[in-house]
Structure 1
Amino acid sequence: MDTSVSILFSGIFTIYYLFLSIRVGYMRGSPVMKIFFKMDRPISEEKLHRNIRAHGNFSEYVPIYLILLLLIELSGSMGFTYLIFTSIIFSYGRLAHSICFCFFDYNPFLRISGMIATYLGLLLLAVPAVYIGYINLIKMNS
Structure 2
Amino acid sequence: MGILYSEPICQAAYQNDLGQVWRWVREDRSYINIQDGFNGDTPLICACRRGHMRIISFLLRRNADVNLKNQVSKTKQNEALVRMLLNAGVDVNAIDCYGCTALHYACEMKNQTLIPLLLEAHANPMIKNKDGETSLDIAQRLKFSQIELMLRKAS
TM-score bin (small chain): under 0.3
The structure with higher relative contact order (CA 8 Å, sep 6+) is: 1
How high is the TM-score relative to the length of structure 1? 0.24
Higher-Rg member (1/2): 1
Higher share of residues assigned helix:
1
